[in-house]
Amino acid sequence: MSIHSTAIVSPSARIAPDVEIGPCAVIGGEVTLGAGCVIQAHAVLEGKVTMGTGNVVGYGAVIGAAPQDFAHKSEISSEVKIGDNNQIREYVTIHRGTKEGTATTIGNGCFLMVGTHLAHNVSLADHVIITNNCLLAGYVEVGEAAVLGGGSVFHQFVRIGRRAMIAGSSSFNKDIPPFVTANFRNLLVGINVVGLRRGGLNAQTRMEIKRAFKLVYRSGFRVREALAEAGKSQWGSEAREFFDFIKNSKRGTCTSNRLAEADVTGGED
């Protein structure tokens, strides 16, 4: 174990033998750090924080602080749960859950770039990429391998589907379905073709997802009518995931327009 002489580490913290802790870092008594974790200078881990193996926490990051929620009380026991092999860069802030027994959670292999903020009860699936200065309000859910562009902001309870791509400097208070590209304010601009290719989805699957997108957002049907129409045909698992996400949305999903799609996607896949 390598702990700098200026670090403040509670004797109650549970720390694997090969963890590295840098200068002036602060590690609280309820913190658990798995093997191979690196905590860089001036990072602060407080409250109940459980971290798996191979994580890097950057300079000045704060993990486990109390949520910015007037309803939160100091006596409430909540936590932050982090999986394995995540990169949490400089000045990231991750607040613990706001209600008793709840948690803010991060999966495996995520990359949170400089200045990212995860408010209380945010949930990230595996391999999520969040670019500099993104702000996620309470209870936001982000699906596997989604990419959030720099400076984007997300209202509380928003859901972001698997392999969605969000352009920088955008803002959302509606759900963003899986496999899409979104930008500006609550605007869908088409299918994340590049992300789907990189994810190994074949051409047939990509075209089916695009047909599903057009049925919901280009057919002239209202969303409920489009979902009913979709139920009359057989679809692959990804298209069904797309429809189910929209069906289960409580906030409603973002809208779309044809000009935006043509401009961003460059035409058919």
Identify the pLDDT of residue 1. Answer: 79
In this prediction the pTM is: 0.94
Query: In what order do the strands lie in the sheet containing 103-106?
Result: 14-15, 31-33, 48-51, 79-82, 103-106, 123-124, 141-142, 159-160
User: For residue 251, which of 159, 163, 183 has the smallest C-alpha distance?
Assistant: 159
Domains of the chain: 2-157 (2.160.10.10), 196-265 (1.20.1180.10)
Query: In what order do the strands lie in the sheet containing 56-57?
Result: 2-3, 20-21, 38-39, 56-57, 87-88, 111-112, 129-130, 147-148, 165-166, 180-183, 187-191, 255-256
Contacts of 233 (CB under 8 A, 6+ apart): none
Quick one: DSSP state of residue 250? S
DSSP states of 63-76 = EEEPPS-TT--TT-
Cβ atoms within 10 A of the Cβ of 192, count?
27
Contacts of 60 (CB under 8 A, 6+ apart): 41, 42, 43, 90, 91
> What string of pLDDT tens digits covers the 269 residues of the chain?
799 999 999 999 999 999 999 999 999 999 999 999 999 999 999 999 999 999 999 999 999 999 999 999 999 999 999 999 999 999 999 999 999 999 999 999 999 999 999 999 999 999 999 999 999 999 999 999 999 999 999 999 999 999 999 999 999 999 999 999 999 999 999 999 999 999 999 999 999 999 999 999 999 999 999 999 999 999 999 999 999 999 999 999 999 975 444 444 433 44
Quick one: DSSP state of residue 176? B
